[in-house]
Amino acid sequence: MVPDAAALLSARTGEQRLLAAYDAKIAHAAAKERARLEVARAIHAAHLSALHGAPLPSEQRIRHLPAALRSSAHHLRGLALAAVVGENAALLASIAAAHEASAG
């Protein structure tokens, strides 16, 4: 069993869900708003890449992105606290920090 495998899988799934939410919002956004959303989407794509994941369509709808980001940050901080491998803990904590900052 790879250490922290469940935590990293959970983080990947959350990031895929957020990316799908950004894609849905970008598809219906006006040009100015789309540019801002694409910058934010790129940040989450970087998170998913750091977690060795790939974008996937998500069936779960996210209506309020800031609330989803805050909830994700809280979840990721818990995963970081429990992570066995220090570098995994730091990565999860950093993604949590980025989500908190993005939530505004």
Give me the residues that bind another protein (CB under 8 A), please.
42-43, 46-47, 50, 73, 77, 80-84, 86-87, 89-91, 93-98, 100-102, 104
Residues 62 and 18: beta-carbon distance below 8 Å: yes
As measured in angstroms, the least distance from the Cβ of 39 to another protein is: 8
In the complex, the smallest distance separating the C-beta of residue 48 from another protein, rounded to whole angstroms, is 10
Quote the least distance from Cβ 14 to another protein, whole Å: 15
Give the C-alpha separation, 16 to 19, whole Å.
5
Burial environment of residue 13 by CB neighbours within 10 A (0 to 12, 13 to 18, 19 or more): middle
Q: Which is nearer to another protein, 48 or 63 (CB)?
A: 48
Closest distance to another protein from the beta carbon of 104 (Å): 8
Nearer to another protein by Cβ, of 9 and 101: the residue is: 101
Q: Closer to another protein at the Cβ: 68 or 98? A: 98
